[in-house]
Amino acid sequence: MTTFVDRVELHVAAGNGGHGCASVHREKFKPLGGPDGGNGGHGGDVILVVDQSVTTLIDYHHKPHRSATNGKPGEGGNRSGKDGQDLILPVPDGTVIQDKAGNVLADLVGHGTSYIAAQGGRGGLGNAALSSARRKAPGFALLGVPGDLQDIVLELKTVADVALVGYPSAGKSSLISVLSAAKPKIADYPFTTLVPNLGVVTAGSSVYTIADVPGLIPGASQGKGLGLEFLRHVERCSVLVHVLDTATLESERDPLSDLDIIEEELKQYGGLDNRPRIVVLNKIDVPDGKDLAEMVRPDLEARGYRVFEVSAVAHLGLKELSFALAEMVGAARAAKPKEEATRIVIRPKAVDEAGFTVTLEEDGLFRVRGEKPERWVRQTDFNNDEAVGYLADRLNRLGVEEALMKAGARSGDGVAIGPEDNAVVFDWEPTVMAGAEMLGRRGEDHRFDAPRPATQRRRDKQAERDEAAQEFEGFEPF
């Protein structure tokens, strides 16, 4: 028996970036060549991609931990490390991705639609890439950044044009089996269908998909029977079909009250009011069924429904039904705005415009949050003084030191960069540059009596630009 899973929690880990390499070129008779340490490779991403041949999330139920591969470290001789491989995870059409709090991160509809669930860590720059006019022979390299770790929830909302709803044993699965090539389980006991079935119908030149959901009973909205949980699979349909049983032996039931009850449950579920609906009176091969169908038809039509009398078992009225559905699906598709085909919600970045925030916490700790400062800290080899100095320069240039001063930080105060559970904490020692920055613009420090000559200022500016450009080429601008 194939199992169907429509909700899983998935833990994804992107690959770590490879460390940059610090190395000095050596050649016979040229002992002091330039720095030639290569960059580390980037870690692989974890990417979810809609694949129409996948119909359930069962694979992720069995294996909920997935990771991409790490980038390789850089090597001497300017050899860059290889990038890690992206991990592509195929998911069914209609997979909704949420974070653990239930916020929708992406809604993947349409073959090939993709979403990067975890971003690979950047490779660290080697000392060759870190060298500049001002820093000719850096004796350090940047560390690779760890890849993203994400816990996400995948939920499948089947994408079908037409959805069949009705009481258990009304014949929904039977209808799918005769309208399409799908072969769902059919039996004469209630709740035969425990998971949605999906079939593809060809009617003339049009092709559409049709799905059923487990039967509904009065009180489904209070969790009776299988409840309303499966109705999420009809949320995306453009046409709803009420399948009414004209041959039920239960004395208190008849097609009209069945319809009322199902409509009431749909209303409880919500969000389906605007779907066009039609009524199918099934089982007219049974003599009493045919009579009952004819009896209720005027009532149903008076309520505004188009009514089709069919028999799934005797194959009556099916052609008319399938062409009518094709027509309704066609109209719905034509009315649908194009961009609705693919809906991706880009995760908003939780940083302000400056790229970082500084907050003073209750215990007197200053906390710095921001994508760049947090990454830079992770790229730093704290055993290497030069690397730490480079970090200080970067933080300074971004304005972190200045912001700390403005927030009231003084020499010796504790500063944490990063989230509570994963921060680098150190005693703050403002650099001279930061002090200078407070007094004037960089390079125009009023504390120096004689201003630097213009040529020197130009050279310094150029060196600064070089450095920024280097980072830009390989990675990103400051």
Binding site for ligand GTP (CB under 6 A): 166, 168-174, 186-188, 190-193, 214-215, 247, 282-283, 285-286, 311-313
Does 166 belong to an annotated binding site? Answer: yes
Q: Which is nearer to ligand GTP, 145 or 170 (CB)?
A: 170
191 is in an annotated binding site: yes
Our CA angle for 137, 370, 122, nearest 5°, is: 50
171 contact choice in ligand GTP, Mg ion, none (CB below 5 to 8 Å, kind-dependent) = ligand GTP
Minimum Å gap between C-beta 185 and ligand GTP is: 7
Residue 190 binding partner per list Mg ion, ligand GTP, none, with a CB distance cut-off of 5 to 8 Å that depends on partner kind: ligand GTP
SS (H, E, C) 52-91: CCCCCCHHHHHCCEEECCCCCCCECCCECCCCCCCEEEEE
**In the complex, minimum distance from the CB of residue 243 to ligand GTP, in angstroms, rounded to a whole number:** 6
Burial level of 335, CB count in 10 A (0-12/13-18/19+)? exposed
What do you get for the CA distance between the two ends of the chain, in Å? 56
Q: Who's near 188: CB < 8 A, 6+ residues apart?
A: 169
Q: Considering CB distances under 5 to 8 angstroms, the limit depending on partner class, which of Mg ion, ligand GTP, none binds residue 168? A: ligand GTP
List residues near Mg ion by CB under 5 A.
172-173, 192-193
Does 219 carry a binding-site annotation?
no
212 belongs to an annotated ligand binding site: yes
Q: Is 13 helix (H, G, I), strand (E, B) or coil?
A: strand
Tell me which of Mg ion, ligand GTP, none is bound by residue 286, counting a contact when its beta carbon lies within the kind-specific cut-off of 5 to 8 angstroms: ligand GTP
Q: How far apart are CA 436 and CA 443, in angstroms?
A: 9
| Cβ neighbourhood burial of 46 (10 Å; 0-12, 13-18, 19+) | buried
Tell me if 170 is assigned to a ligand binding site.
Answer: yes
Nearest distance in Å: CB 282, ligand GTP: 5
Query: Exposed, middle or buried, 422 (CB in 10 Å: 0-12/13-18/19+)?
Result: exposed
> Residues with Cβ < 8 Å from 107, sequence gap 6 or more?
96, 97, 343, 344, 345
Residue 246 Cβ, how far from ligand GTP at the closest point, in Å? 9
23 is in an annotated binding site: no
Which entry of ligand GTP, Mg ion, none binds 375, CB below 5 to 8 A by partner kind?
none
Nearer to ligand GTP, 311 or 322 (CB): 311
Q: Confirm or deny that 283 is annotated as ligand binding.
A: yes
What does the block give as tokens for 30?
A: 């040229």
User: Which residue number, 86 or 309, has a Cβ lying nearer to ligand GTP?
Assistant: 309
The first and second tokens of residue 43, run together, are: 């870690």
Residue with tokens 């030191």: 401
> Residues annotated in the binding site, as ranges?
166-173, 191-195, 212-215, 282-285, 311-313
> Residues annotated in the binding site for Mg(2+), as ranges?
173, 193
> Residues annotated in the binding site for GTP, as ranges?
166-173, 191-195, 212-215, 282-285, 311-313
